[in-house]
Structure formats: structure tokens, C-alpha cells
Chains A and B, each alone.
Chain A
Amino acid sequence: MEITLRVNGVPRKADVDPRMSLLDLLRERLGLIGAKKGCDHGQCGACTVLIDGRRANSCLALAVAVDDRDITTVEGLADGDELHPLQAAFIEHDAFQCGYCTPGQLCSAEGMLGEPGPSAITEDLLTDPGLTPDEIRERMSGNLCRCGAYVNIVTAIGEVAR
């Protein structure tokens, strides 16, 4: 099936197998290896991208379902040579080791920064809790890091959230 989508602002056309995930479309057909496959089942967050500005697991989205949508991957976060503040903070705070979860952490964090309102752990549902370390931990818990860089990830995101 023929689809057209915009990836990091660039219009891309692709003839896709209806069984193909957005993740496989990006990685195997469009040459964008930034989004990672850690589980292919929506359990790890390594494949997180932004679909129309909202974070989503691209392994759970079929390519045919993102026809005409706007996709942002980790490759689209920086502005030319200028790193996105989250990318710079991740480097500065050593918020990764092997780096395999990192693109997903970054896209997830970028999506999270734009998500207002309370989370499952917010005490008072009527006030915006702000991105305290606890709120960041809660909201970033869909992105696994087996290297155990969480402490530094929370510091890096917290610095950008301020």
C-alpha cells in the first residue's frame, strides 16, 4: 500500500506491507535507525517517536495507520548542528551507557515535557504538580534502561524541565 508521511519535516512516500510497523518502516525502509527495536511489543519504549507531537511506541503503530501523519524521530530533535537541550543534557549528565534506550528516552522526554496535568502519582489532581523528580520518574517509566542510567536520566530531564 502506498502511504505518504512526513518524517522530521520531510515528506516521504513508501509502498508498505500492511503488516509492517512504523518502526520497521523507519529502520528498514527509510534508513532512519535512530528509533530502536527492543521488544517489538510495546514493553520497553526503545522505539518511542512523536506522532503528531505525541509520544508513541512505533512498534505498536502499523505503517499504514500513519498515512499523512507527522513523525518526529530522534534524528529530528536537533536543529542542524545545534543539539536539542535534552540531547545536550543527556551528554552532560552521562544519562546513558550503551545508548540503545537513549533515542526512545529522548523522544519520550520531549513528548512528556509537552504533557500537562496530573499523573497517576499526583496527590492533588486539581493543581499542576510540575515536573518534580518523582513526576519525571513516573512519567518516564515506560522507557526501560537496562544499563541503569535512570538516576542520570532524571537529573538530565529535570534540568531541561526547569
Chain B
Amino acid sequence: MNRIEGRVKVTGLATYAAEYPAEGVAYACAVQSRIAKGRIKRVDGGPALESPGVLAVLSCEDPPRMSEDADPELALFQHREVAYRGQIVAAVVADTYENARAAAAAVRVDYDPDDHDVTLSADHPGLYKPDVVNPGFPTDTGKGDVEAGLAAAATTVEVTYETPVLHNNPMEPHAALAYWDAEGRLLVYDTAQGTSTSRDMIATALGLPPDRVRVVSRHVGGGFGSKGTTRPQAVLAALAARVVGRPVKIALTRQQMFDVTGYRTPTIQRLRLGADAQGRLTALEHVAYEQSSTLIEFAEQTTVPGRVMYATPALRTAHRLVRLDVATPSWMRAPGECPGMYALESAMDELAYAAGLDPVELRIVNDAETEPGTGLPFSSRDLVGCLREGARRFGWERRDPAPGIRREGEWLVGTGVAASTYPARRSPCQAVATVRDGDFLVQVAAADIGTGARTALTRIAADTLEVSPERVHVELGDSDLPRAPVAGGSMGTASWGSAVVRACEELKRDGKEGRADTTEEIKGDAELARHAFGAQFAEVRVSSVTGEIRVARLLGVFAAGRIVDPTLARSQFIGGMTMGLGMALMEETLTDAEFGGFLHRDLAQYHVPVCADVRDVEAVWLDERDGELNPMGSKGIGEIGIVGTAAAIGNAVFHATGHRVRELPITPAKVLMPRF
């Protein structure tokens, strides 16, 4: 079965947020702060208002009515304070995009600037311990005596790894089209990873009851977390439409996306590992230093993988945060696991070399019986199976562990391995299944951001109803449909699918209709550690002349429960691994210490992998049966693909060159550095 929306996508008929036709539509264009901290003295919209076609200028000079409860990143024009460079401080609405853009450049904003601080460091005086880390994990955990474990170890590794600011950069810019009807109801076509959540956030921001707001996102051009929370464009379109009395459309520019749609916090991660003569861990300590904005506390859960991965008598994980004059970081594909596993799995490779052990074997001897952080049993765990199967397919046993010795002409060749993990969660969801014209209609406010949710849910419904998929029609992407959680945390299919199965089961009993709400069912889930696991293997070639790094092969082996749809799953896995390749070798946004804001603000500066960077990327999976997850027996697969990739590539670069780079991305300059 191919993707259900395949045909509309390849013929150009799939309608994304900014693409709905609207009679009399006006265009909004945002004006951004040029300072990183201070107060707006005055916004002079005069020259802009006199430009051709301009309908309105919005700013704090005449703050549009909003609720005090608005998310601080959505409280547009409510305050004079500037929290970061690039924050939206004004907007112009005009009859055409060209007129709006020209007039936005004519808006004059005067500031009273303050000194700013945008630089994260591990000894920043403002570092503190947040109460919890995203999405509610304990900030610190500890068991056993780390110092004693290290003292007793035969081998220790103490290292610091750093990851830069990373940007989600979905191909579809954040966009919205908003209408108010005569009764004061608001309809927003938004780029949302969840229309129920987006509806609630917009309603809260505007002080409206949720039933006055409808959000529609039938097709979303990628999100990777950046569309999981409502972004300013949706609120701006609604405010502007209210002011000018016409539908208003806004699509953020690629440059604006860097500033106002979230990013992955930079991290500084300190790891201390000790192992006995057999390689068994005696202690593991992982501390992460991260940033958030002055507006909102977002604390990425970077060190949680240590609570899941390896058996150790002594374990300490901790997070420290500093609030800087920067935009608020947010979710980017596998928050926590992605940067945390990069550091942990790189450090494990260092431990393997220090102890003279094979990196695959080191991970196998440290496999955990129960979840190290909590002591809970796993619902299922097959990290060892993934490592063994991956080693077999990759040809790992032929590997000579000595670094820096394989040469083909100018190219140094190396291979590396790293583990992957991601939680398998689900959250409450509603769904309705009915008979329509002899076929079956399934409704749920799920989102298809490229994951293939329509197709997966069609399969799940068809399996439950025991009918052919052609007879099932899934409606999603609309907040008027039964309430559903966002496409995030790799729990979309698990959450929506659970509700769809229950609704279809009831339809089978009832014959006409089935309604489901999984809130109670999920409350009854046993207390277990539920995670997917994987192992990734990389082969790289590093030019000894230019330092250019080519990834010749990437193989991922995953144990992620029952795979609902093999085609979609493979695409998700290799898509995540491809993004992981970008993280390893090229992705980086530098912060401008002098002026605040980001220095990389477009796709010529922020490099994502292109076709020529991606050669042999393959993903396979083990058959894993787990009855403790959800009716499908599935674990989420949207994020685990990016977890571990950067470490596998970094470990391969070390194996190729003998030089360990501990700061991402691993660029030619860093690889060549030891020569100078």
C-alpha cells in the first residue's frame, strides 16, 4: 500500500497552510527586533502606512487585545521589552505580498538598548537547576557512589562534548491564513503538528473559548518539533485579520524561521565513565549545561539516556540551565536523546578504546536487565539483538580496531558504531468511527507532517475492522475532529492508533458507530520502562588532503515493537538517520555574541544534507513482540533514527583518522586541526 496522499502530493494538489484560496486576502509581514535586549522607545509606522497598499501597522504603540495568559513567545506587541534579537516587534498588513514586504522595511523602531548576554558556558554565574526537564522528567538523578565507582575502576574516561545550536528547518516555512466570520469565530489554516493543541494555544492567547477557534492543517511540510507548539505566525495572522477585517496570510521567511520558530539548545556535556577490567561500568556521570530564554524555561532532557542505557552501580545525571537574551529553544527531533546520546555514545567509544575492548562488545556486556535510573523492568529491550544483527550485516567482525591505519589513496577509511534509544509512550486521544456509504469513516484530529499518519491509521483501522484498506477513509488535520495529541515525542501513531482501534472495535460491536477516548485505558497501563532501541553503524572516508568527510555507508538496526507499515517505517528511519548525518558533519547555527541573534539564518549558511551527501543509508528492524505498549504493539519510530547517528559517524571519523573531535559539527577544519 502506497501513501494515501501520494497522488495529490506528486501532482501539486496537496494544499499546505498558505495555499488555501481566500477572497480578498491581505498579506502580513513581520518586523523584527534589531537589538538583543532593551526597551522599544517608539515604533514609527507613519512612512509604512503611507506606502502603497498598506492597510495597517501593528505594534506595541497600539497593542492589539490579547489575553494575559498568552504564551510569552505569542504575546505579540503586548510589551515594550525586547527579549532577543529577531523577536517580532511590529507587522505590516498590505494588499499584496510585495507591498507588505516593502512597507515592513519602512517601519522605524527606536530602542533603549541594554547590555545583553547570549553566550552559554559551563561556568556561567546564572546557571541553576530547573525544577524539571522537558517534558517533566526529574532534573537530576543519582544512585550509588560515583566517586567510589570511578576510584575503583580499571579504566576511566572524563570528557566534555559540545553540540551547537541546531535548527529544525522543515522545508515548509511556518505559515498561516486566518479568517474571522461574522459571528466572531476564527478559522486558522496553520502549519501545526497538532490542531487540537494549536487551537487551544491560539484560543488562550486571544482570550477566546476554544470552541470559537478552528485550526486546520491537512498537509504539513515537515515540522521536526518546530510546529509542535503554536508559532507567532498563527497569532499574527489572527490579530491582523481582526484589525483589517479581511482574511490575512503570512508565511515567515526562512530567515525569520531561525529566530521565532524554536531551535535545539546548544549543549556542553561532561561525562565521567569508569569500567572494571571486563569493561563493566562502575560509574556513569552525565551533566549537561544548556540555555533558555528569559521568556520561557525550556530545559532539554539531555542526560536522560544515561537513565536508560547501561547497567551501572553508580549513576548520576544532571541538567543545569542559564537564561540568556536569546530566543526560546524548543523541541527538535528527539530532544534529549539526540544530543545526549551523541555525547554518551561517543564517550562509550572512548571507553572501549581506553579499555582495549570492541565497542559492540562493550555495549553488550553493559546491557541492562532493568532500567538503570528507576529499577523498573523493561516492557521489551533488544539492544543486544540490534548490535549483533547490525554487526553481522555491516561486516563488523572484519574490523581492525586500530585507528588511523586504513588508507585508499588520499582517503582514510574508518567505521564506527553507536546505540540508539527513544521512549515508547502514548497519551490520551479520542476517535470516532462510523459507517458511511457502505465504507468506514475514521475521524481523529491527528496530523500528517510527512510521517504517513493517514496511511498508518488507515491500515490500523482496516486491520481492526477486518476490511480492505480501500474501504477506510481517515480524516485528520482539523481541530473540529475528535481531540488528539500532537505528532511529537514519537507517540503519534501509538496514541491515535490506540483510539482508532478502540473506536473501530466499538463500531464492529455496534454496527453503526464507535467512539473512543483512551484516557482511562492509559491510566491502567502497568508501570514499566518502555523504550525502543537500535544500533547504528557508519563507514566514513576522510580526505587526508582537504579533511572532507564522506559517509560511505550508514546502517541502522532497530527494535521498535511491531512495525505498522514497513514502507513508511523505513522512510522514517532513514530520514532520521539522514538528519543525524547533517548533525554530525554540517549543521550549526552560530550565535552573534556582539549583536545577539543568530549568524546563520538561511540555507546557504545553515547546511543540511543534500542528495550528494547521502549515499548508502539503510534501515532494518528486528521482529519484536511487546504486549505492554498499545493495541498495535508498536513503538514510535519518528525520532529514534536521529539518535546515535552523529556518534556513529564521529566514532568512525576517529577510527579513520585517530583524531577525536568532541565538538559538533565535525568539519574539515576540525579534522585537519592536529596537523597545525
Asked if B132 is at the interface of the complex by the 8 Å CB criterion, the answer is no
Q: Return the CB mask of A135-158 against B: 1 if under 8 Å, else 0.
A: 011101111111111111110000
CB distance from B612 to the nearest CB of A (A): 4
Chain B positions 119 through 151: 1 when the CB is less than 8 Å from some CB of chain A, otherwise 0: 000000000000000000000000000000000
Tell whether B29 is near chain A: CB-to-CB under 8 Å.
no
Instruction: With CB as the reference atom, state the residue of chain A lying closest to B615.
Output: A137
B451 at the interface (CB under 8 A from A): yes
Within 8 A of A (CB), among B201-229: 219-222, 224
A46 proximal to B (CB < 8 A): yes
Evaluate contact between A74 and B11: CB separation under 8 angstroms: yes
Report A-chain residues with C-beta under 8 Å of the C-beta of B452.
97
> In the complex, which of the residues B14, B21, B611 has the most CB atoms of chain A within 10 Å of its own CB atom?
B611
Of B287-295, B465-473, B570-578, the one contacting chain A is B570-578
The prevalent SS among residues of A at the interface is: loop
How long is the Cα–Cα vector from A146 to B223 in the complex, in angstroms? 10
Q: Which residues of A contact B572 (CB under 8 A)?
A: 97
A25 to B96, CA, bound (A): 11
Q: Which residues of A contact B603 (CB under 8 A)?
A: 38-39, 41, 43-44, 144
**Docked complex Cα distance between A90 and B172 (Å):** 19
Q: A144 contacts which chain B residues (CB < 8 A)? A: 171, 603, 608, 610
* Surface stretch bound by A, among B1-9, B32-40, B178-186, B625-633: B1-9
Task: Chain A residues near B19: list those with CB within 8 A.
Answer: 27, 33
A92 to B3, CA, bound (A): 9
Most-contacted residue by chain B among A17, A43, A148 (CB, 10 A): A148
Pairwise interchain contact A34-B614, C-beta atoms closer than 8 A? no
A17 touches B574 (CB 8 A): no
Contact A100 B16 (CB under 8 A): yes
Interchain CB contact (< 8 A) of B171 among A75, A94, A101, A138: A101
Are A34 and B11 also in contact (CB < 8 A) when A17-B96, A19-B102, A41-B604 are?
yes
- Asked if A78 is at the interface (CB within 8 A of a chain B CB), the reply is yes
Q: Which of B18, B170, B571, B618 has the most CB of A within 10 A?
A: B571
Check B419 for interface membership: any CB of A closer than 8 A: no
B568 CB within 8 Å of chain A: yes
Per-position 1/0 for B571-605, Cβ under 8 A of A: 11011111100000000000000000000001110
Are A148's CB and B609's CB within 8 A? Answer: yes
Check B11 against A137 for contact (C-beta < 8 Å).
no
A102 to B220, CA, bound (A): 13
B224 cross-chain contacts in A, Cβ below 8 A: 146
Answer whether A99 and B219 are a contact pair too, CB < 8 Å, given A40-B254, A78-B11.
yes
Output the nearest chain A residue to B222 by Cβ-Cβ distance: A98
Measured CB to CB, the nearest residue on chain B to A88 is B10
Q: Given contacts A34-B12, A74-B10, A141-B611, are A28 and B97 in contact (CB under 8 A)?
A: yes
Q: With A and B bound together, what is the CA distance between A90 and B575 in angstroms?
A: 16
0/1 per residue, A107-150, Cβ < 8 Å to B? 00000000000000000000000000000111011111111111
Q: Which residues of A contact B611 (CB under 8 A)?
A: 136-138, 140-141, 143, 145, 150, 153-154
Query: What is the bound-complex CA distance between A152 and B577, given in angstroms?
Result: 14
* A141 and B12 contact, CB distance less than 8 A: no
Q: Check A83/B11 contact, CB under 8 A, given A43-B602, A138-B612.
A: yes
Given the contacts A24-B97, A98-B220, A91 and B12 also touching, CB distance less than 8 Å: no
Contacts of B615 in A (CB 8 A): 137
State the CA gap A103–B10 with chains docked (Å). Answer: 6
The complex places the Cα of A19 from the Cα of B96 at a distance, in Å, of 11
- Chain A residues with CB below 8 A from B449, complex form: 98
For residue B526, CB closer than 8 A to chain A, the reply is no
Check A99/B574 contact, CB under 8 A, given A43-B602, A43-B603, A94-B2.
no
Closest A-chain residue to B9, C-beta based?
Answer: A99
Q: B156 an interface residue at 8 Å Cβ cutoff?
A: no
- Contact status A41-B10, CB under 8 Å: no
CB distance A100 to B604 under 8 Å?
A: no
Q: Is the CB of A96 within 8 A of B9?
A: yes
Give the residues in chain A near B609, CB-CB below 8 Å. Answer: 148, 150
Report the separation of the CA atoms of residues A143 and B576 in the bound assembly, to the nearest whole angstrom.
Answer: 18
Q: Which of A29-79 contact B (CB under 8 A)?
A: 31-41, 43-44, 46, 73-75, 77-78
Q: Assuming the A-B contacts A31-B21, A98-B172, are A148 and B614 also in contact, with contact meaning beta carbons closer than 8 angstroms in the complex?
A: yes
Known: A78-B11, A98-B220, A140-B611. A146 touches B171 (CB 8 A): yes
Q: Which of A33, A74, A92, A145 contacts B15 (CB 8 A)?
A: A33
Residues of chain B within 8 A (CB-CB) of A138 are 611-612
Q: Please give the distance in Å from B254's CB to the nearest CB on chain A.
A: 4
Bound-state CA distance A34–B219 (Å) is 13
The residues of B that contact A33 with a CB separation of less than 8 Å are 12, 15-16, 19
Using A33-B12, A100-B16, A137-B612 as known contacts, say yes or no to A151 and B2 having CB atoms under 8 A apart: no
A10: chain B residues at CB < 8 Å are none
Knowing A41-B604, A91-B6, A146-B222, say if A100 contacts B12 (CB, 8 Å): no
Among B12, B16, B602, B612: residue with most chain A CB under 10 A: B12
Asked if A91 and B251 make an inter-chain contact with CB atoms under 8 angstroms apart, the answer reads no
Residues of A within 8 A of B18 (CB): 37
Assembly CA distance A108 to B411 (angstroms): 32
Q: Is the CB of A97 within 8 A of B172?
A: no
B353 CB to nearest A CB, Å = 30
B450 within 8 A of A: yes
Given A33-B15, A34-B13, A147-B575, 10 more A-B residue pairs with CB atoms under 8 Å apart are: A17-B99, A91-B10, A94-B570, A98-B170, A99-B9, A141-B612, A148-B574, A150-B610, A150-B617, A152-B571
Q: Which 9 A-B pairs have the closest CB atoms?
A: A34-B12, A100-B221, A148-B578, A98-B450, A99-B9, A97-B450, A148-B575, A74-B12, A43-B603
Pairs A–B under 8 Å by Cβ, sample size 9: A17-B96, A19-B102, A96-B6, A98-B449, A99-B219, A100-B450, A141-B611, A151-B578, A151-B614
